[in-house]
Amino acid sequence: MFKPAGFRRGPERAYIARFRPLPERLAMIPPRANSAAARDIANLLHPYTDLLTHQEVGPLVISRGEGVRVWDENGRGYIESVAGLWCASLGFSNERLVEAAAAQLRKLPFYHGFTAKSHAPMIDLAEMLIERAPVPMSRVFFANSGSEANDSAIKMVWYFNNAIGRPKKKKIIGRIKAYHGITIGAASLTGLPANHRSFDVPLPGFIHTVCPDFYHGGAPGETEEQFASRCAEALEKLILEQDPDTVAALWAEPIMGAGGVILPPRTYFEKIQAVLRKYDVLLVADEVICGFWRTGNYWGSQTFGVEPDIITCAKALSASYLPISAVLVNDRIFQGLAEESHTIGTFGHGFTYSGHPVPAAVAVETLKIYDELDIGAHVRAVGPHLQAELRRRFTGHELVGDVRGTGLIGAIELVADKESRTNFDPKAKIGGRLTRLCEANGLIGRSLPGDVLAFSPPLIITAAEIDEMLDGVGRALDELAVQVRQEKIAVVA
């Protein structure tokens, strides 16, 4: 029988390699060779994972969750500092969402939306999203993930421009460091090298403008407003170089999430939207991370003055208890889609599970919970505590170059040289080291490109739990600093 590389050292050692210190590691040895970790190594292909290293190190197997915490198979608990993947907004044990799913499974476990079929959960959810939209929207299309929502929106933009007689206006602009998903179209929009390399994306017709990262991109003595003007000028130059008659849309996250929790500099969206309107280029707001109170407002678009033509959302739409995403389009877009579908005879796009009744019912209940618990008020109460404590505790740390965020989203960026803002050599995998040390100190963290540790805890987190989470980060950072000094880890060449 084939045995993965990790078995050369024994599945127990492969599994415990990620834990420190030694007494804890020894206490966590799985008792059998057919442990969950060993079976994982033998059978799974993991997303966003070094697949070869995984065969040696193995997984952290999570067995249950409650509130803002999860527990591994050995009973060790962790605060989930990024709500899984920015998404478990109501934590890991909300019984109302469980009951909403169970009730819908008993009533109508599946139906579709093809050929004008419908059902109550899909109708209710669409109505609720239209009512809560940050700017007037006309219709809602449902998919299953943020990637699918963004891919769907790309196709809608192309379809719309064909409908109104602009067949050349098809190019899509993303931003360097942006993240919009991993399907072929969404990955083409994304501006991260690891999502492009060896996958043969971006596809033709996808271009990228500058990243609004003031920490690294701002010139000496330049204000945020001046930097925002340069970003807008760069966007206009790109559109002119490409020919405005060929440029269809720009995608933007209100806060760039997976690219490093990058907040837009002051006046940024005001200035880029002026450029887009000048050349009749649509604006798509990717609210997959920022939507549903993450920034202290219902939408990140409201926090930063974004007025999109199309909105994509997912994750906190159902608190991620079940997969569902949505695309909201304004009336101008909808009328174009409707006319073209009438000409063709159908709008030939959709998924088997578009608006699946069970995730839709859970999403309806999620939005009701946000309203009833006044989650926005809670975020506005505890968000400033997170932001203040991040800055108080870590701004002066020897490894921390920048601390940023708003509401219940934040980040600390590690640098090798604070004065020059120089990052560590990527080969040192400083961010990965920090997340492993965080695990050893009782929290699960998320390392992003550029050695950025992200924070996006469940929206229900309390001030006391924020302090406990940051206590663990502080211990992990101090341990990492010792490693860096002892190993004399180099900066980027």
pLDDT in tens, 39-62: 999 999 999 999 999 999 999 999
User: How confident is the model at residue 489, as a pLDDT?
Assistant: 80
User: How confident is the model at residue 34, as a pLDDT?
Assistant: 79
User: In this structure, which topology does domain 95-373 adopt according to CATH?
Assistant: Aspartate Aminotransferase; domain 2 (3.40.640)
HSE toward the beta carbon, residue 316, CA cutoff 13 A = 29
Residue percentage of the chain with pLDDT more than 70: 92
Q: How far is CA 387 from CA 13, 151, 258, 454, in A?
A: 39, 33, 19, 12
User: How confident is the model at residue 171, as a pLDDT?
Assistant: 98
User: How confident is the model at residue 200, as a pLDDT?
Assistant: 97
User: How confident is the model at residue 231, as a pLDDT?
Assistant: 98
User: How confident is the model at residue 13, as a pLDDT?
Assistant: 43
The whole-chain average pLDDT of the chain stands at 93
Same fold, 60-92+376-487 and 95-373: no
Q: Is the predicted pLDDT of residue 343 greater than 70, yes or no?
A: yes
- Pairing mode, strands 247-252 and 282-286: parallel
| Structure-token pair, residue 354 | 């578009």
Q: Which residues pair with 256 in a beta bridge?
A: 262
For residues 420-438, give the mean pLDDT.
Answer: 94
The rounded distance, in Å, linking the Cα atoms of 16 and 46 is: 18
User: How confident is the model at residue 490, as a pLDDT?
Assistant: 62
Ramachandran class of 155: left when φ > 0, alpha when ψ lies in -120 to 50, beta otherwise: alpha
3-state secondary structure of 479: helix
Match 């719309």 to its residue by tokens.
160
Residue percentage of the chain with pLDDT more than 90: 91
Q: Is the predicted pLDDT of residue 14 greater than 70, yes or no?
A: no
| 275: confidence class by pLDDT, cuts 50, 70, 90 | very high
| 271: confidence class by pLDDT, cuts 50, 70, 90 | very high
Q: What is the pLDDT of residues 170-229, one digit of tens each?
A: 999 999 999 999 999 999 999 999 999 999 999 999 999 999 999 999 999 999 999 999
Q: What is the pLDDT of residues 299-332, one digit of tens each?
A: 999 999 999 999 999 999 999 999 999 999 999 9
Q: Is the predicted pLDDT of residue 233 greater than 70, yes or no?
A: yes
The rounded distance, in Å, linking the Cα atoms of 37 and 61 is: 7
Domain ranges of the chain: 60-92+376-487, 95-373
Triad 114, 149, 275: Cα angle to 5°: 125
User: How confident is the model at residue 29, as a pLDDT?
Assistant: 44
30 or 51, greater pLDDT: 51
Q: Is the predicted pLDDT of residue 261 greater than 60, yes or no?
A: yes
CATH hierarchy code of domain 60-92+376-487: 3.90.1150.10
Contact yes or no for 428/8 (Cβ under 8 A): no
| 3: confidence class by pLDDT, cuts 50, 70, 90 | very low
Match 């200035």 to its residue by tokens.
271
User: How confident is the model at residue 488, as a pLDDT?
Assistant: 84
Closest CA to 30 of 1, 58, 55: 58
> Exposure pattern of 429-446 as b/e (b: 16+ CB <10 Å)?
bbbebbbbbbbbbbbbbb
Q: How far is CA 195 from CA 48, 176, 178, 181, 312, in A?
A: 9, 12, 11, 9, 20
Please tell me the pTM assigned to this model.
0.92
User: How confident is the model at residue 491, as a pLDDT?
Assistant: 55
| 33: confidence class by pLDDT, cuts 50, 70, 90 | low
